[in-house]
Structure 1
Amino acid sequence: MIVNSTKLLLDRNSLYHNMDYLKKVKKKKLLPVVKANAYGHGTEEIIGALYDYGQKEFAVARYVEAERIKKMGLKDIKILVFESIGDYSMIIDKNDIYISVNNLEELKSALNYGVPPERIQIKLDFGFGRNGIYLSEMQEVKKIVEGQKTRFGGLYSHLFAVDYEDGLEYIKKFDDVVNLLGKDRFEMIHLQNSAATLTYDCDMVTHVRAGMVVYGLQDDGFYERNLKQVFSLESEIAGIRNLENSKYIAYRPKEEGQSAKYIAKIKLGYADGFLKSNEGGFCLIGNKEYEILQVTMDNTFISVDSGIKEGDRVILYHNVPMVTSKNNMTIYELLTILSPRIPREFV
């Protein structure tokens, strides 16, 4: 009996290679972003491996993600939560959770509640329509910062996909704010996201905030050949049927001209986050590509030949550009929707 025959396999060496490469090239500390189930790779698996590697600082989007990490029982870690906390009573006694203040009132209310400055990171807004404290409010922020006896946990903003010259302008503005508030008043300063990490150098920052590049994933238009893909989505042939005398393929009638003689099933379907839009795409069995004919809730059916047998290894998403084009989605979108039904395992 095949149990958990579909798995997202993870390469520890590739993960460590990417961390080492980014630190070497950028000459900065790293703040890995492990939100959204570590970009679909598995929160516990990735954080456990990074912790063994010596990484103690992490960033997530939501408080519930920080709580999930806390349950791992790791010592001496710092977890930055990007989204506003709202209820400071949830984190006031949790010294490993660091909060982001995303507007001026949040900064004031967090300090008034008694959240220590060293556990507060201040986010700046450069007019991207996201969140953060406006640049026009920096003089008031300066007074607040100078009024504290201890350093703040951090100062940061988000430099995402912008025109190259605009990016240089925003880096200059960020540097100006750091100089105004005082670099030595912040333990951590970070600006680049993954795309900007590959595009820009920022001398002022203490950390590079890297998400998808830690996992070897890259946006269209960005390519760094030294990064290594960490994941491999794999399954096994769970059964094969001869279609010569069949009017149907799985749940559908054979289409006119359908030439598939044998059909193979794997235990992976849209309930696992493997979308029906993968139909007409290809997977890899051995060294040969085979067409994906049909994706159902729990299974996927593949057109194969007589050389394929039950138990053969099947690799999905082996051709990332083809897969992203077929689904009209980035690879990290496709990974983050993969269900917890799919085990994540290091090999």
Structure 2
Amino acid sequence: MKTNSFVMEISKENIINNVNFLKKKYKKSILPVVKANAYGHGIKVITKTLYENGYKDFCVARLSEAKKILENEKLSCCKILVFESIDQSHFSYIKSCDSLVVTANSFQELLTLINSGISSKKIQLKIDFGFGRNGIELLDILKLKSYIVNKNLEFSGIYSHLYATDFIEGKELIDRFSEMVLFLGKEKFQMIHIQNSVGILFYGAQDFMTHMRSGIFIYGLQEEGFFHEGLKQVFQLKGKVAGVRDIEDSKYLAYTSKDDLSNDNYKNIVKIKIGYGDGFLKCNENSMCTINKKTYKILSVTMDNTFIAGDDSISEDDEVILYPNINLIRNNTGMHICEVLPLINDRIERVLK
């Protein structure tokens, strides 16, 4: 019985293709979002690759993610925007780290940051147009304008979140954001951005934006109805067959009655070394994988192993690819495309191809 484990193989060629494609097509700087372990692709692998190819600005959700990037001393000249609010206990670290840019998610938060000695040039303002998650509320905009003028502040940037999926409503949000930036003083902001990946696809380049903030598209993750040509899937979750068994006379497979697994006609069970202990969840049961470029059904997922309905053509050490087309994930598992890969934990190594 073999003990082959899985790896997530990251294509350097495809990640660079995707960011360069977006930058060239829209003639705007791309601001890569690498939160949630770079959407599961490996934050250290992705940021190192992008940095070495000229992309030195990143976005994360939490300070802990920024610190993980900065564990690579070679990335010390990068700039990392942290979306979420940061507790005052970390302010001394923020002030001492040139790479960090923080978000003011409310007017009061802005006052706290400035009064604590954090330069406005290390701050980006987030404006909330009704998303309800975070951001400076519209009722505080007049106070914000007065504060900026009185203190003659200049900021790292200003941004908002394009939450509407309706085309017309989304365009209205962009227009309102543009008006807000002009009201506050466009010259006060080094970086201006609102469009996420879907916003890039729907609305293209906007003249007043300095950057396009892309998450899923830089990884080639797309869904039906939101497809962008020119983007390539960056990862492959791959390993090898750890064992093949004939269970024709067996009643059980692992903890489950064989009769409860599938009505399909199969004879051999293929074992691979990945399971829900690695973040490959049981909802993947009845989805498909490929072995030697042929499609097979996943029957059962346990903590450390997964079992596949096989045939006589499969042998130990044959190559197995899970999620061969990640864009079909909702149809296969019911999960959103952004949910799947971040669940794959550190038991699965990320390897740059």
TM-score normalised by the shorter chain: which range applies? over 0.9
Could you tell me whether the CA contact under 8 Å between 1:243 and 1:260 is conserved in 2? Answer: no
> What is the match of residue 68 of structure 1?
68
Could you say what secondary structure the match of 1:92 adopts? helix
With over 3 angstroms needed to count, the CA separation of the structure-2 counterparts of 1:53 and 1:254, relative to structure 1, is same
- TM-score (normalised: structure 1): 0.96
1-side partners of 2:121 and 2:39: how far apart?
Answer: 28
Determine whether 1:284 maps to 2:268. Answer: no
> What is the match of residue 78 of structure 1?
79
C-alpha deviation, 1:269, in angstroms: 0.3
C-alpha deviation, 1:22, in angstroms: 0.7
Could you say what secondary structure the match of 1:100 adopts? strand
Of the candidates 208, 211, 230, which is equivalent to residue 204 of structure 1? 208
Query: Unaligned regions of 5+ residues in structure 1, if any?
Result: none
Query: Unaligned regions of 5+ residues in structure 2, if any?
Result: none
Determine whether 1:231 maps to 2:238. Answer: no
> What is the match of residue 226 of structure 2?
222
With over 3 angstroms needed to count, the CA separation of the structure-2 counterparts of 1:285 and 1:135, relative to structure 1, is same
Could you tell me whether the CA contact under 8 Å between 2:330 and 2:336 is conserved in 1? Answer: yes
> What is the match of residue 7 of structure 2?
7
> What is the match of residue 144 of structure 2?
141
C-alpha deviation, 1:138, in angstroms: 1.8
With over 3 angstroms needed to count, the CA separation of the structure-2 counterparts of 1:171 and 1:205, relative to structure 1, is same
> What is the match of residue 115 of structure 2?
112
C-alpha deviation, 1:177, in angstroms: 1.0
1-side partners of 2:215 and 2:264: how far apart?
Answer: 43
Task: Read off the aligned partner of 1:136 and give its amino acid letter.
Answer: L
2-side partners of 1:15 and 1:311: how far apart?
Answer: 28
- TM-score (normalised: structure 2): 0.94
Could you tell me whether the CA contact under 8 Å between 1:290 and 1:302 is conserved in 2? Answer: yes
2-side partners of 1:63 and 1:191: how far apart?
Answer: 21
Task: Read off the aligned partner of 1:204 and give its amino acid letter.
Answer: F
Could you say what secondary structure the match of 1:130 adopts? coil
Of the candidates 166, 175, 180, which is equivalent to residue 177 of structure 1? 180
Determine whether 1:243 maps to 2:247. Answer: yes
| Cα displacement string for residues 240-275 of structure 1 (whole angstroms, at most 9, x for unaligned residues) | 111133222232222076632111100000111111
Could you tell me whether the CA contact under 8 Å between 1:32 and 1:59 is conserved in 2? Answer: yes
Could you say what secondary structure the match of 2:312 adopts? coil
1-side partners of 2:339 and 2:268: how far apart?
Answer: 32
> What is the match of residue 326 of structure 1?
332
> What is the match of residue 311 of structure 2?
305
Of the candidates 226, 240, 265, which is equivalent to residue 271 of structure 2? 265
Task: Read off the aligned partner of 1:34 and give its amino acid letter.
Answer: V
Could you say what secondary structure the match of 2:317 adopts? coil
Once the two structures are superposed, the pairs formed by residues 91-106 of structure 1 within 5 Å of their partners are 91-106=94-109
CA-atom RMSD in angstroms = 1.6
Could you say what secondary structure the match of 1:125 adopts? coil
Moved more, 219-228 or 296-305: 219-228
Could you say what secondary structure the match of 1:240 adopts? strand
Task: Read off the aligned partner of 2:191 and give its amino acid letter.
Answer: M
| Cα displacement string for residues 32-80 of structure 1 (whole angstroms, at most 9, x for unaligned residues) | 0000000000011001100111111101000111111111111311111
1-side partners of 2:295 and 2:196: how far apart?
Answer: 35
2-side partners of 1:59 and 1:230: how far apart?
Answer: 19
Could you say what secondary structure the match of 1:339 adopts? coil
With over 3 angstroms needed to count, the CA separation of the structure-2 counterparts of 1:321 and 1:37, relative to structure 1, is closer
Could you tell me whether the CA contact under 8 Å between 2:8 and 2:41 is conserved in 1? Answer: yes
C-alpha deviation, 1:161, in angstroms: 3.5
C-alpha deviation, 1:151, in angstroms: 2.1
Between Structure 1 and Structure 2, how many residues are aligned? 347
% identical equivalent positions:
46
C-alpha deviation, 1:321, in angstroms: 4.5
Of the candidates 246, 252, 259, which is equivalent to residue 255 of structure 1? 259
2-side partners of 1:148 and 1:9: how far apart?
Answer: 50
